[in-house]
Amino acid sequence: MGGFLVFMVLTAAMGLSIFLSLPVVYSKRAQGRWAVGLNAVAIGILIFLLADVFSDVSTILYPSGYVANLGYSIAFGVAFVGAFLALYLVDNLKGLGLISRRKVLPSATPPTDNGPSTTALIIALGIGLQNLTEGLVFGVNWTAGALGILAVVFVGFFLQNVTEGFPIASPFLATDARRRLPTMLGLFLIGGLPTIAGGAIGYFWSNDLFLVVFDALAIGAIAYVILPMLRVAFRPLESREASTRRNQLVYLGAMIGFALGFAVNAI
């Protein structure tokens, strides 16, 4: 039991390290050009996570290196499409007429943070699914007694989770909504707690199909949310010069975000 408690403490440290990004998220500098830069860094991190998650599952999908396992490939494709479509429906319920629009009196001020809240929730869900598989990997290696691999996995996942707070917070940057600490804490828990759940599952049980499905769900969710983030990042500004400067900042930030994700994952 003592070993399990130590394992759960370490797993919790990995998952909850996402909260270490809160001081930067709530910094007064996280607005204006800094907000554009942090958003771009978040996009770069998410792009890296797509590649990272697929690299983890690719050894299961292609056990011989070049011939795909048909059953796992079908499961992966179904889970990916399912996650993408499910998030599309959640994000477009009103537009599709699946729920009624709330009537607002002419004198009332309609809420302005529904879009950022929905986007942040989708990002948190995608990161949470990805972190669940990270917990599974940690749990499997713990029960296997691979101490050398465990040290690398722990440090890598701990640092990577620190960076994952930026994508979750990115829809709120430069808006009043991001100052709602309870909302942000809840979103960070959605992103971080699955690491603990995955660790507990991996400690007692492991299954390749389970890993394939949840990796595909994570990839589908992350892929879905990157598209609107890119659209917002490159929307035209008041002048061509301003758009050009902003685009240069987005390119630079995305490159930094990808490099940051790669660097912490390589440790």
pLDDT for the residue 57: 87
Domain membership of residue 112 (yes or no) is no
pLDDT for the residue 210: 84
Domain membership of residue 111 (yes or no) is no
Domain membership of residue 248 (yes or no) is yes
Give how far Cα 92 sits from Cα of 96, 99, 108, Å.
6, 10, 23
Domain membership of residue 108 (yes or no) is no
Into how many domains does the chain fold? 1
Residue 127 CA to residue 164 CA, distance in Å, equals: 7
Lowest-confidence pick of 59-63, 64-68, 128-132, 201-205: 64-68
**Of the candidates 109, 122, 139, the residue with the CA atom closest to the CA atom of residue 12:** 139
* pLDDT tens per residue, range 144-169: 776 666 777 787 778 878 888 888 88
Domain membership of residue 113 (yes or no) is no
Phi-psi region of 145 (alpha: psi -120 to 50; beta: other; left: phi over 0): left
Average pLDDT over residues 181-207: 89
Domain membership of residue 80 (yes or no) is yes
pLDDT for the residue 218: 83
Report yes or no: 35 and 174 within 8 Å, Cβ to Cβ.
Answer: yes
Calculate helix-pair angle for 240-266, 147-163, nearest 10 degrees.
160
Domain membership of residue 57 (yes or no) is yes
Unique residue bearing structure tokens 């910094």: 27
* pLDDT tens per residue, range 70-96: 999 999 999 999 989 988 887 776 545
pLDDT for the residue 194: 92
User: Is a pLDDT exceeding 70 seen at residue 109?
Assistant: no
Residue 14 CA to residue 138 CA, distance in Å, equals: 10
Unique residue bearing structure tokens 């992966």: 76
Residue 56 CA to residue 32 CA, distance in Å, equals: 36
Lowest-confidence pick of 4-18, 84-98, 103-117, 175-189: 103-117
Average pLDDT over residues 99-110: 40
Range of the domain at 223: 2-103+118-266
- Stated pTM of the model: 0.72
Residue 262 CA to residue 267 CA, distance in Å, equals: 9
Lowest-confidence pick of 15-19, 151-155, 204-208: 151-155
Domain membership of residue 8 (yes or no) is yes
pLDDT for the residue 104: 40
